Amino acid sequence: MPVPAETGFNPQNPLIVQSDRSLLLEVHNPWFEAARTAISPFAELEKSPEHIHTYRITPLSLWNAAAAGLSAEAMIGALVSFAKYPVPQNVLTDMRELASRWGRVRLRRLGEILALESEDNALLKELARHKQVAPYLKPEAATGAYRINEGARGVLKQALTAAGWPVEDLAGYVTGTPLQIELRLDRFTVRDYQSEAAESFYVSGTERGGSGVIVLPCGAGKTIVGLTSMAKVGQSTLILTTSRTSIHQWQRELLEKTSLTPGEVVEYRGDTQQLGPVTLATYQMLTHRPDKTEDFPHLALFKAHNWGLIIYDEVHMLPAPVFRITAEVQARRRLGLTATLIREDGREEDVFSLIGPKKYDVPWRDLEGRGWIAQAVCSEVRCRLPREARMSYAVATNREKFRIAAENPVKLSLTEKILTLHPQAPTLVIGQYLDQLKIIADELKAPLITGKTVQAERDRLYQQFRTGELRLLVLSKVGNFALDLPDAQVLVQVSGTFGSRQEEAQRLGRVLRPKSDGQVAHFYTLVTRETEEESFAHHRQLFLAEQGYSYRILDEEEL
C-alpha cells in the first residue's frame, strides 16, 4: 500500500498535490489505478498526456461529491494516502471549507411558506445583501429565515450556486397524479447498482430524495434506473429524451418490464399534443417554435398535467429553454440520467442547481470488471493527408482546416481495412459530415441514417441490425445517443464535433453493451496526422481517460 506523505517525501506514491488545487498523477506508477479511482469522485481531469495526468479540484466537484455522501475528510484522506509530498495546507483548508458549504444553506417549508434558512445567521444576512441573491429574499422576522416566492425556487438556487453557496433543497414536492407501476421482475432482474442508484434518488421518500442526477456508463441500463424510480414514486411521469428513436426504446422498455399498458404510455407530438399517465417527448419538440419571434409553445407541457416525476434522459444535452422552464417547476421531482455530466457549454452548474446534484456514479471500469458492460479496446489511427490536400489545408481558415482534416479521403480505405479485420462483427461507422458519410456508405454498400431519414425507415434499419440481417450501418451524429443496438461490436469514428468529450463518451457507449459471447468491443477513431484534428482528438478523449480507458496510437500502416 502507498505510504501517506504527511511529514516527508514518499517517492513510491503517484500523486503530487499543488497549492492551486491541481493534481499531477503519474500514469506509470503501480498505484496509478488505485489513486485515479480514489480522486475521481471529487476531482476533474483536465489533461491526459502519456506520462502525467492533470486533475483539478473545483468547488462544483467538491459539492457534487459532498451531495453524494462523500465527506471532506474522506476526500482529504485520499489525497494524503497517495501524495508523494505533504499536501499543501491551503488545499486541505480549502477542501474542508468548500465541501462544508454544501448543506449550510437550506430551502425548507416553514408552515405554509417556502424559506431559506441556516444555523449561521450572519451568513444569511450576508447572502441577503448579495446582488444576485437579494432580489429573491424577503425577511421573515418570526423565524430569522427568509421567505421565498414559489416561482423563484429555481432561480434562487442558481444564484446561490453562482455566489458560492449551494443550497440543499429540502422543501419537498407536490404530489402528482397517482399511478401504480409494478416492475415485472419475472422478465428481468434489477442489478444491484441500478437498485442503489434508484434508491439514492428516492431515499425512501424522505425530504432528501426526489431530485438529482444518476451517472452510469452507456449500456449499463440507465433506463432500468428510470423505471425503478418511477415505481418508487408511483405518480404520473413526464419523460424527456433526445430523439423519437429513444422514445420508442423507452416505450418498449416500459411495456415489456412494467405493468403499464399501451394506453398509459403516450408520445407527445406537436400535431396531436396528446397526454397520458406516462408521457414521452423530445427536447427538439419542446424547443420547436414556428415563429422565431415568439416563445416556445410546447414548453407548456411541463405545466399541462399534474406530474409527480420528470425524467431528463441524457441530461447533459438539455437545451437552454428547457433549463429556463425547469427553473419554474422545482416543486416536481426531477431525475437526470446521463453517462457524463460534462457539458461543452459549461452549464454544469445549472444541471447541479436545477435538476439536482449528482446522487450516484459508478466508474466505467468497475462495471466492465463485473461484466455489466463490455470490455473495450480504443484505438486512434493516425493517417496522412494526401499531397493534393496539403496546400488547401495550409491556406484554409481554422474551421475549414478541421473539416479538410476530418474529411480526409484516406479514411475510406482505412475503414475498409478495419472491416476486414472484423469480418463478422456487427459494425457502426459514424461521422460528422454528410458528404463524407455518403461517399463511405456508397463505397461500402451500406445504409446511411441521417437526421433526414424518416423515423419508420430508421426503425426498420435498426431492427434489421438487431436481428443480424444487417451487419453494417453508417450513421451521422443521430447515432450519438440512445441507440439500442446491443450486438454492435465495432465502431469506426471517421469524424466528430471538434473536441467534444461528451460525444466521444457517447460514441464509445454504442458498443459497450455486454456481448452474449463475451467478445471484446473495438472503438476506432481516425485522425489526420499533423492537423487540427490531432489536438481536438486529444481533448475528446479526456473523459474516457478519466474513466480509465487508454488509446492505442497506431499508424495507418500498422492496421
Which CATH homologous superfamily contains domain 192-362? P-loop containing nucleotide triphosphate hydrolases (3.40.50.300)
Print burial letters for 425-461: b (CB count within 10 Å at least 16), e (below 16).
bbbbbbbbbeebbebbbeebebbbbbeebeeeebeeb
Q: Do domains 105-169 and 192-362 have the same CATH topology?
A: no
* Residues 549, 48 contacting (CB under 8 angstroms): no
Q: Is 361 helix (H, G, I), strand (E, B) or coil?
A: strand
As a three-state string, the secondary structure of 177-226 is CECCCCECCCCCCCCHHHHHHHHHHHHHHCCCCCEEEEECCCCCCHHHHH
Q: How far apart are CA 114 and CA 380, in angstroms?
A: 53
**Tens-binned pLDDT, residue by residue, of the chain (559 aa):** 666 655 568 999 999 999 999 999 999 999 999 999 999 999 998 888 778 999 999 999 999 999 988 999 999 999 999 999 999 999 999 999 999 999 999 999 988 899 999 999 999 999 999 999 999 999 876 778 999 999 999 999 999 999 999 999 999 999 999 999 999 999 999 999 999 999 999 987 777 889 999 999 888 999 999 999 999 999 999 999 999 999 999 999 999 999 999 999 999 998 888 999 999 999 999 999 888 778 899 999 999 999 999 999 999 889 999 999 999 999 999 999 998 888 878 889 999 999 999 999 888 888 998 999 999 999 999 999 999 999 999 999 988 999 999 999 999 999 999 999 999 999 999 999 999 999 999 999 999 999 999 999 999 999 999 999 999 999 999 888 767 788 899 999 999 988 888 889 889 989 998 887 778 999 999 999 999 999 899 889 988 888 888 899 999 999 8
Nearest to 155 by CA among 107, 100, 215: 107
pLDDT of residue 316: 87
Q: How far apart are CA 203 and CA 201, in angstroms?
A: 6
Which cell goes with 504? 466521444
Nearest to 362 by CA among 372, 348, 374, 353: 372
Q: How far apart are CA 393 and CA 348, in angstroms?
A: 35
CA dist 372 → 43, 152, 200, 217 (Å):
25, 42, 20, 10
Q: How many CB atoms lie within 10 A of CB 260?
A: 23
Domain ranges of the chain: 15-100, 105-169, 192-362, 368-558
Q: How far apart are CA 549 and CA 559, in angstroms?
A: 20
Nearest to 407 by CA among 535, 495, 504: 495
Q: In what order do the strands lie in the sheet with 472-475?
A: 448-449, 472-475, 427-430, 490-493, 521-528, 376-383, 551-555
pLDDT of residue 156: 96
pTM to 2 decimal places: 0.90
DSSP H or E run through 238: strand 237-241
Q: How far apart are CA 379 and CA 381, in angstroms?
A: 6
Strand pairing category for 105-110 and 167-169: parallel
Which CATH homologous superfamily contains domain 368-558? P-loop containing nucleotide triphosphate hydrolases (3.40.50.300)
* Residues 84, 15 contacting (CB under 8 angstroms): yes
* Residues 43, 76 contacting (CB under 8 angstroms): no
Q: What sign does the CA torsion over 212, 215, 218, 221 have?
A: negative
Q: In what order do the strands lie in the sheet with 113-117?
A: 138-140, 145-148, 113-117, 105-110, 167-169
Length of the chain: 559
E-only strand ranges, 268-375: 278-282, 309-313, 333-338, 358-361
* Residues 493, 525 contacting (CB under 8 angstroms): yes
Q: What is the CATH number of domain 105-169?
A: 3.40.1170
* Residues 355, 336 contacting (CB under 8 angstroms): yes
pLDDT of residue 271: 81
Which cell goes with 543? 473523459
Nearest to 98 by CA among 72, 125, 76, 67: 72
Which cell goes with 79? 489525497
pLDDT of residue 501: 87
